[in-house]
C-alpha cells in the first residue's frame, strides 16, 4: 500500500489489491488483474465488458474463472471504495 500519498488536485481510492488477490480471489499472482479491474472501474475509459473480454482472450482456458473473478473483484472493490 502507498504510504505517502502525493499532494495534488486529484482523488485517491484505496483498497488492498494484493490482499484481495491472495485472500479473496485465492491466488496472489492475479493481483495485476485485480488492479486492472479497479482501473477500468475508476476511469471508465473502456467498458467493463470490453476489458474483461480482452483479459479473458489472453489467458489459458484453465485460468479463465480465476481471472474473471479477479477482474470482477477489483472492479467491484474500486466502485465500493470510491463511494
State the pLDDT at residue 11.
84
What nine digits make up the cell of 55?
483479459
State the pLDDT at residue 2.
72
* Any domain includes 9: no
Give residue 13's pLDDT band: very low, low, confident or very high (50, 70, 90).
Answer: confident
Task: Go through 17-43 and write b for each residue having 16 or more CB atoms within 10 A of its CB, e for each that does not.
Answer: beebbbeebeeeebbebbbbbbbbbbe
Task: Flag whether pLDDT at 32 surpasses 70.
Answer: yes
State the pLDDT at residue 83.
81
* Any domain includes 22: no
Average pLDDT score, the chain: 94
* Any domain includes 45: yes
Number of domains in the chain: 1
Q: Which domain holds residue 77?
A: 33-82
Give residue 1's pLDDT band: very low, low, confident or very high (50, 70, 90).
Answer: low
* Any domain includes 64: yes
* Any domain includes 66: yes
Amino acid at each position: 500500500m502507498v504510504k505517502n500519498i502525493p499532494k495534488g488536485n486529484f482523488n485517491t481510492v484505496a483498497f488492498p489489491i494484493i490482499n484481495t488477490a491472495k485472500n479473496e480471489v485465492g491466488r496472489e499472482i492475479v493481483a495485476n488483474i485485480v488492479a486492472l479491474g479497479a482501473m477500468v472501474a475508476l476511469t471508465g475509459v473502456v467498458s467493463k465488458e470490453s476489458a474483461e473480454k480482452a483479459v479473458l482472450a489472453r489467458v489459458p482456458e484453465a485460468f479463465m474463472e480465476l481471472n474473471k473473478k479477479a477482474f470482477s473483484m477489483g472492479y467491484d472493490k474500486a466502485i465500493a471504495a470510491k463511494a
